[in-house]
A and B are shown apart, each in its own frame.
Chain A
Amino acid sequence: MSEVTSQHPHNLQHHFADMEQQNDSGIFGMWVFLVTEIMFFGAIFAAYAIYRSMYLPAFEFGSRLLDVKLGTVNTAVLIGSSLTMVLAVHAAQTGKRKALVFFLLLTMALGAVFLGIKSYEYYTKWEHSLVPGLRFAPTEALPSGVTVPNLEMFFCFYFFMTALHALHMIIGFGIMTVLVIMSWRGRFSPEYYAPIEVSGLYWHFVDIIWIFLFPLLYLIGGRYTT
């Protein structure tokens, strides 16, 4: 009896045969969740495609009102946070506790920079009265005498899609906070780091959503005309 328990890994749940099965099940489960997220965002992307085709001039004009420099910087920041996330996974795989904590904190810091820049963009949209429903009077942002019908529709999509993305990042912050505490307490080892791995999958998924939001919102509105 004592021989059996001594061979039983500390982190192995009793309903799994071994650590490999437990780890594969965790990764598979996370992917099934991400599949539902793909369908969730997929419906919004489909709606975006339909309304963009219906109100193409408004969507192209609205796209050019976004700050492409800030959008590009934010894309680089988020890709950087994905790099630090995989380096955190690497640190966990090689059993480097301090590096793991450091890279998780760095990932959170880069995420915070992204949300900071995003907040600044929201603030400038508010200043220019481009927030549908709350403050929408696009006279400042448009040349005098120019009116763009259905411009609200573009900004409805802009705010809804980016806010939903930002909400996912804020949820990611909560997950990371727990991971930092667990890592600091030495809960992970090269044999057991599944929570780091699956949280990384979530973080990269949020990155992929932004990889599509960035060109759809900021880039494909005929930037070359201005």
Chain B
Amino acid sequence: MSEHIVSVRSYVLVFLALLCLTALTVGVAFVDLGSMNTVIALVIAATKMLLVMLIFMHVKYSSRLTKLAILAAFFWLGLLLTFTLSDYFTRRWTPSPSDWGPSISQPAPVNK
């Protein structure tokens, strides 16, 4: 097996780091930093995720094929979020041409 036995000490250190980051993110939530509150909360969450993935989930020691699968997941997740949110968040940037509304809402005349 290509496994790498991580020491108990490293596991406990990662555990303590995760607890510290949890305390930090809760503490920062009670300080008014405007829109940075959300950014900092997500950056701390991403840091915790990386610690769990690299050490607890042994990604640091895993095969290249496994790393490729994980990178593919983040790439597709990025596509999902980027394209969905870039649609919803830009819908009000440009107003619809004023003559579009009535022509769409009026039913087409029936020729008989």
Residues of A at the B interface (CB closer than 8 Å) are 19-20, 23-24, 27-28, 31-32, 34-35, 38-39, 42-43, 45-46, 49-50, 53, 68, 72, 75-76, 79-80, 82-83, 85-87, 90, 93-94, 191, 197, 200-201, 204-205, 207-208, 211-212, 214-216, 218-220, 222-225
Contact = CB atoms under 8 A, between A and B. Distances in A.
Contacts of B49: 208, 211-212
A42 B55 CA distance: 23
Contacts of A86: 6, 11, 55-56
B73 A219 contact: no
B: contact size bracket: 35 or more
Interface of B: 1-3, 5-6, 8, 11-12, 14-15, 18-19, 22, 25-26, 29-32, 37-38, 41-42, 44-45, 48-49, 52-53, 55-58, 62-63, 65-66, 69-70, 72-74, 76-77, 80-81, 84-85, 88-89
Contact of B26 (A20, A35, A219): A219
B1 A76 contact: no
A46 B80 contact: yes
The 9 A-B pairs at the shortest CB distance, nearest first, are namely A215-B41, A219-B29, A35-B73, A83-B15, A224-B32, A223-B29, A42-B77, A79-B18, A38-B73
B78 to A, nearest CB: 9
Given A24-B63, A31-B66, A215-B41, A90 B25 contact: no
B58 to A, nearest CB: 8
B90 to A, nearest CB: 12
A82 B56 contact: yes
16 contacts: A24-B2, A35-B69, A38-B77, A39-B77, A42-B80, A93-B3, A191-B1, A205-B57, A208-B53, A211-B48, A212-B45, A214-B22, A215-B42, A219-B25, A219-B41, A222-B32
Contacts of B25: 214-215, 219
Contact of B73 (A39, A90, A201, A212): A39
A50 B3 contact: no
B56 A204 contact: yes
A20 B80 contact: no
A43 B30 CA distance: 29
Given A43-B80, A219-B41, A223-B30, A20 B22 contact: no
Contacts of B8: 87, 90
Nearest to A224: B32
A23 B80 contact: no
Contacts of A31: 66, 69-70
Contacts of A28: 63, 65-66, 69
A19 B3 CA distance: 11
A76 B19 contact: yes
Most interface-central of A85, A205, A211 (chain B CB within 10 A): A211
Contact of A207 (B44, B52, B74, B85): B52
Nearest to A213: B45
Contacts of B29: 68, 215, 218-220, 223-224
Contacts of A83: 11-12, 14-15, 56
Nearest to A192: B1
